[in-house]
Protein backbone atom coordinates (compact mmCIF):
# COMPACT_ATOMS: atom_id res chain seq x y z
CA UNK A 1 0.00 0.00 0.00
CA UNK A 2 1.03 3.58 -0.68
CA UNK A 3 0.38 7.00 0.85
CA UNK A 4 -0.23 10.11 -1.25
CA UNK A 5 1.17 12.77 1.07
CA UNK A 6 -0.11 15.73 -0.95
CA UNK A 7 -3.33 15.83 -2.96
CA UNK A 8 -5.70 18.77 -3.44
CA UNK A 9 -8.71 16.49 -3.81
CA UNK A 10 -11.05 19.38 -2.98
CA UNK A 11 -10.00 21.27 -6.15
CA UNK A 12 -12.71 22.15 -8.65
CA UNK A 13 -11.12 19.84 -11.24
CA UNK A 14 -12.57 16.95 -9.22
CA UNK A 15 -16.08 18.33 -8.81
CA UNK A 16 -17.60 15.90 -11.32
CA UNK A 17 -16.10 12.68 -9.94
CA UNK A 18 -14.35 13.32 -6.62
CA UNK A 19 -15.61 10.25 -4.78
CA UNK A 20 -14.90 8.01 -7.77
CA UNK A 21 -11.33 9.37 -7.93
CA UNK A 22 -10.81 8.54 -4.26
CA UNK A 23 -12.29 5.07 -4.75
CA UNK A 24 -10.04 4.41 -7.75
CA UNK A 25 -7.00 5.39 -5.72
CA UNK A 26 -8.03 3.00 -2.98
CA UNK A 27 -8.46 0.18 -5.49
CA UNK A 28 -5.03 0.97 -6.97
CA UNK A 29 -3.37 0.48 -3.58
CA UNK A 30 -3.32 3.98 -2.11
CA UNK A 31 -4.29 3.57 1.54
CA UNK A 32 -4.10 7.21 2.61
CA UNK A 33 -4.60 10.59 0.88
CA UNK A 34 -3.44 13.74 2.66
CA UNK A 35 -5.46 16.80 1.63
CA UNK A 36 -3.80 20.12 2.56
CA UNK A 37 -5.72 23.37 2.84
CA UNK A 38 -4.82 26.58 1.01
CA UNK A 39 -6.58 29.11 3.25
CA UNK A 40 -9.65 29.90 5.30
CA UNK A 41 -11.84 29.38 2.23
CA UNK A 42 -11.30 25.62 2.26
CA UNK A 43 -10.61 24.69 5.89
CA UNK A 44 -14.10 23.20 6.23
CA UNK A 45 -13.97 21.55 2.80
CA UNK A 46 -10.75 19.61 3.38
CA UNK A 47 -11.96 18.46 6.79
CA UNK A 48 -15.29 17.25 5.43
CA UNK A 49 -13.65 15.55 2.48
CA UNK A 50 -11.05 13.80 4.62
CA UNK A 51 -13.86 12.29 6.66
CA UNK A 52 -15.91 11.37 3.62
CA UNK A 53 -13.37 9.37 1.62
CA UNK A 54 -11.71 6.15 2.73
CA UNK A 55 -8.21 6.87 3.95
CA UNK A 56 -8.64 10.63 3.88
CA UNK A 57 -6.58 12.94 6.11
CA UNK A 58 -6.16 16.71 6.13
CA UNK A 59 -3.86 19.55 7.07
CA UNK A 60 -4.81 23.16 7.77
CA UNK A 61 -2.81 26.15 6.60
CA UNK A 62 -2.48 29.26 4.47
CA UNK A 63 -0.72 28.63 1.13
CA UNK A 64 1.81 31.30 0.11
CA UNK A 65 0.16 31.81 -3.28
CA UNK A 66 -3.10 32.66 -1.52
CA UNK A 67 -1.61 35.23 0.86
CA UNK A 68 -2.84 38.15 -1.32
CA UNK A 69 -6.38 37.28 -0.27
CA UNK A 70 -5.51 36.51 3.35
CA UNK A 71 -5.95 38.90 6.27
CA UNK A 72 -4.04 39.00 9.55
CA UNK A 73 -7.03 37.59 11.43
CA UNK A 74 -6.75 34.39 9.39
CA UNK A 75 -3.94 33.33 11.73
CA UNK A 76 -6.34 33.64 14.67
CA UNK A 77 -8.93 31.63 12.76
CA UNK A 78 -6.30 29.00 11.94
CA UNK A 79 -5.39 28.75 15.61
CA UNK A 80 -9.04 28.13 16.50
CA UNK A 81 -9.41 25.57 13.72
CA UNK A 82 -6.29 23.74 14.90
CA UNK A 83 -7.52 23.70 18.49
CA UNK A 84 -10.86 22.33 17.31
CA UNK A 85 -9.11 19.62 15.27
CA UNK A 86 -6.64 18.26 17.82
CA UNK A 87 -9.00 15.46 18.82
CA UNK A 88 -9.78 14.63 15.19
CA UNK A 89 -7.78 11.56 14.11
CA UNK A 90 -7.94 12.69 10.49
CA UNK A 91 -6.08 15.94 11.21
CA UNK A 92 -2.35 15.47 10.59
CA UNK A 93 -0.60 18.84 10.59
CA UNK A 94 -0.21 22.39 9.34
CA UNK A 95 -0.13 22.91 5.59
CA UNK A 96 0.18 23.90 2.93
CA UNK A 97 2.44 26.68 4.16
CA UNK A 98 5.74 28.14 3.01
CA UNK A 99 7.11 30.63 0.51
CA UNK A 100 6.93 30.98 -3.28
CA UNK A 101 9.51 33.14 -5.04
CA UNK A 102 8.62 31.87 -8.52
CA UNK A 103 5.20 33.46 -9.06
CA UNK A 104 5.24 37.16 -9.92
CA UNK A 105 3.14 39.60 -7.95
CA UNK A 106 3.36 38.02 -4.50
CA UNK A 107 4.38 40.27 -1.61
CA UNK A 108 7.44 38.67 0.00
CA UNK A 109 6.84 40.41 3.33
CA UNK A 110 3.24 39.17 3.51
CA UNK A 111 4.37 35.66 2.62
CA UNK A 112 6.93 35.78 5.42
CA UNK A 113 4.34 37.15 7.85
CA UNK A 114 1.98 34.23 7.30
CA UNK A 115 4.78 31.66 7.10
CA UNK A 116 6.30 32.74 10.40
CA UNK A 117 2.90 32.96 12.06
CA UNK A 118 2.11 29.42 11.04
CA UNK A 119 5.50 28.13 12.15
CA UNK A 120 4.75 29.62 15.56
CA UNK A 121 1.53 27.62 15.63
CA UNK A 122 3.36 24.46 14.56
CA UNK A 123 5.82 24.97 17.39
CA UNK A 124 3.11 25.76 19.94
CA UNK A 125 0.97 22.74 19.09
CA UNK A 126 3.91 20.44 18.27
CA UNK A 127 2.57 19.68 14.80
CA UNK A 128 4.43 18.79 11.60
CA UNK A 129 4.36 21.11 8.60
CA UNK A 130 3.79 20.56 4.89
CA UNK A 131 5.93 23.19 3.17
CA UNK A 132 5.78 24.80 -0.26
CA UNK A 133 9.41 25.52 -1.21
CA UNK A 134 9.34 26.68 -4.84
CA UNK A 135 12.44 28.81 -5.49
CA UNK A 136 12.53 29.37 -1.73
CA UNK A 137 14.34 26.37 -0.27
CA UNK A 138 16.89 28.40 1.71
CA UNK A 139 14.35 30.84 3.12
CA UNK A 140 11.94 28.07 4.13
CA UNK A 141 14.64 26.07 5.93
CA UNK A 142 15.74 29.26 7.70
CA UNK A 143 12.24 29.59 9.14
CA UNK A 144 12.17 25.96 10.22
CA UNK A 145 15.46 26.43 12.03
CA UNK A 146 14.38 29.69 13.62
CA UNK A 147 11.20 28.14 15.02
CA UNK A 148 12.81 24.77 15.78
CA UNK A 149 10.48 22.71 13.61
CA UNK A 150 11.82 19.19 13.17
CA UNK A 151 9.05 17.24 11.46
CA UNK A 152 7.15 17.52 8.21
CA UNK A 153 7.51 17.45 4.44
CA UNK A 154 9.20 19.73 1.92
CA UNK A 155 6.60 19.29 -0.81
CA UNK A 156 7.64 18.94 -4.50
CA UNK A 157 11.29 19.26 -3.58
CA UNK A 158 13.53 20.50 -6.38
CA UNK A 159 16.62 21.96 -4.74
CA UNK A 160 20.28 21.04 -4.64
CA UNK A 161 21.80 18.10 -2.81
CA UNK A 162 23.14 20.55 -0.23
CA UNK A 163 19.67 21.98 0.33
CA UNK A 164 18.19 18.49 0.50
CA UNK A 165 20.68 17.54 3.19
CA UNK A 166 19.77 20.67 5.16
CA UNK A 167 16.12 19.60 5.22
CA UNK A 168 17.03 16.04 6.14
CA UNK A 169 19.30 17.28 8.94
CA UNK A 170 16.39 19.41 10.19
CA UNK A 171 14.25 16.27 10.42
CA UNK A 172 12.04 16.85 7.39
CA UNK A 173 11.14 14.46 4.60
CA UNK A 174 11.22 15.37 0.92
CA UNK A 175 8.21 14.96 -1.36
CA UNK A 176 8.61 13.54 -4.88
CA UNK A 177 5.88 13.09 -7.47
CA UNK A 178 5.13 13.11 -11.17
CA UNK A 179 8.15 15.24 -12.05
CA UNK A 180 10.52 12.35 -11.43
CA UNK A 181 8.90 10.41 -14.31
CA UNK A 182 10.22 12.86 -16.93
CA UNK A 183 13.65 11.97 -18.32
CA UNK A 184 14.41 15.66 -18.87
CA UNK A 185 13.94 16.35 -15.13
CA UNK A 186 17.53 15.32 -14.52
CA UNK A 187 18.12 17.05 -11.21
CA UNK A 188 14.92 15.73 -9.64
CA UNK A 189 15.71 12.23 -10.90
CA UNK A 190 19.24 12.42 -9.48
CA UNK A 191 17.85 13.49 -6.12
CA UNK A 192 15.23 10.73 -6.14
CA UNK A 193 17.87 8.17 -7.07
CA UNK A 194 20.67 9.18 -4.71
CA UNK A 195 19.13 10.64 -1.56
CA UNK A 196 18.55 8.19 1.31
CA UNK A 197 15.30 6.29 0.79
CA UNK A 198 14.30 6.99 4.37
CA UNK A 199 14.17 10.72 3.51
CA UNK A 200 11.58 10.37 0.73
CA UNK A 201 7.80 10.40 0.53
CA UNK A 202 5.63 10.19 -2.58
CA UNK A 203 2.89 12.60 -3.57
CA UNK A 204 0.81 13.63 -6.56
CA UNK A 205 -0.06 17.30 -5.91
CA UNK A 206 -3.18 16.34 -7.88
CA UNK A 207 -4.72 17.76 -9.97
CA UNK A 208 -1.28 19.23 -10.81
CA UNK A 209 2.17 17.76 -11.63
CA UNK A 210 0.88 14.87 -13.73
CA UNK A 211 3.38 12.09 -14.56
CA UNK A 212 4.88 11.75 -18.02
CA UNK A 213 2.24 9.32 -19.27
CA UNK A 214 -0.49 11.87 -18.42
CA UNK A 215 1.33 15.00 -19.59
CA UNK A 216 -0.95 18.06 -19.37
CA UNK A 217 -3.85 15.95 -18.13
CA UNK A 218 -5.51 16.04 -14.72
CA UNK A 219 -3.40 14.18 -12.19
CA UNK A 220 -5.07 11.94 -9.61
CA UNK A 221 -4.02 9.98 -6.51
CA UNK A 222 -4.45 6.63 -8.24
CA UNK A 223 -1.18 7.43 -10.07
CA UNK A 224 0.85 7.05 -6.87
CA UNK A 225 1.71 3.35 -7.37
CA UNK A 226 3.05 4.03 -10.89
CA UNK A 227 4.98 7.09 -9.68
CA UNK A 228 6.33 4.93 -6.87
CA UNK A 229 7.32 2.26 -9.37
CA UNK A 230 9.27 4.90 -11.31
CA UNK A 231 11.03 5.86 -8.09
CA UNK A 232 11.83 2.21 -7.42
CA UNK A 233 13.22 1.76 -10.92
CA UNK A 234 15.48 4.80 -10.51
CA UNK A 235 16.80 3.40 -7.25
CA UNK A 236 17.11 -0.21 -8.39
CA UNK A 237 14.72 -1.57 -5.76
CA UNK A 238 11.38 -3.34 -5.97
CA UNK A 239 8.11 -1.45 -5.97
CA UNK A 240 7.20 -3.25 -2.75
CA UNK A 241 10.36 -1.96 -1.09
CA UNK A 242 9.58 1.57 -2.26
CA UNK A 243 5.99 1.28 -1.02
CA UNK A 244 7.04 0.00 2.40
CA UNK A 245 9.79 2.58 2.74
CA UNK A 246 7.85 5.63 1.65
CA UNK A 247 4.83 4.59 3.73
CA UNK A 248 6.99 4.31 6.84
CA UNK A 249 8.51 7.69 5.99
CA UNK A 250 5.08 9.30 5.61
CA UNK A 251 4.08 8.01 9.04
CA UNK A 252 7.32 9.40 10.49
CA UNK A 253 6.77 12.78 8.83
CA UNK A 254 3.08 12.97 9.79
CA UNK A 255 2.72 10.76 12.88
CA UNK A 256 -0.98 11.51 13.31
CA UNK A 257 -1.60 9.51 10.12
CA UNK A 258 -1.28 6.44 12.32
CA UNK A 259 -4.24 7.60 14.41
CA UNK A 260 -6.65 7.18 11.53
CA UNK A 261 -5.08 4.30 9.65
CA UNK A 262 -7.75 2.13 8.12
pLDDT 10s digits, 92-114: 999 999 999 999 999 999 999 99
Does the annotation list 155 as a binding residue?
yes
Residue-range definition of the domain harbouring residue 191: 2-260
CATH code, 8: 3.20.20.140
Does the annotation list 183 as a binding residue?
no
User: How many domains is the chain built from?
Assistant: 1
Is residue 262 pLDDT above 70, yes or no?
no
Q: Each residue of 132-182: pLDDT tens digit?
A: 999 999 999 999 999 999 999 999 999 999 999 999 999 999 999 999 999
What pLDDT is attached to residue 182?
A: 98
Does the annotation list 132 as a binding residue?
yes
CA angle 89, 81, 120 (to 5 degrees): 100
Q: What burial class does residue 177 get, using C-beta atoms within 10 Å of its C-beta: 0-12 exposed, 13-18 middle, 19+ buried?
A: buried
For the beta carbon of residue 253, count every other beta carbon within 10 angstroms: 27
Does the annotation list 173 as a binding residue?
no
Does the annotation list 96 as a binding residue?
yes
Q: Is the pTM of this model over 0.85?
A: yes
pLDDT confidence band for 261 (50 / 70 / 90) = low
Amino acid sequence: MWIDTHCHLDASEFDADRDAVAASAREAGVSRIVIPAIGRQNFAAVRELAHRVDGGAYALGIHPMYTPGAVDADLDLLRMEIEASLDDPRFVGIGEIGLDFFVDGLDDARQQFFYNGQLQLAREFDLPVICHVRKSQDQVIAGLRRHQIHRGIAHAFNGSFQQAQAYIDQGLHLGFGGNLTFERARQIRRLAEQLPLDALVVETDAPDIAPSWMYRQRNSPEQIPAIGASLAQLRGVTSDAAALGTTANALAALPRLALSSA
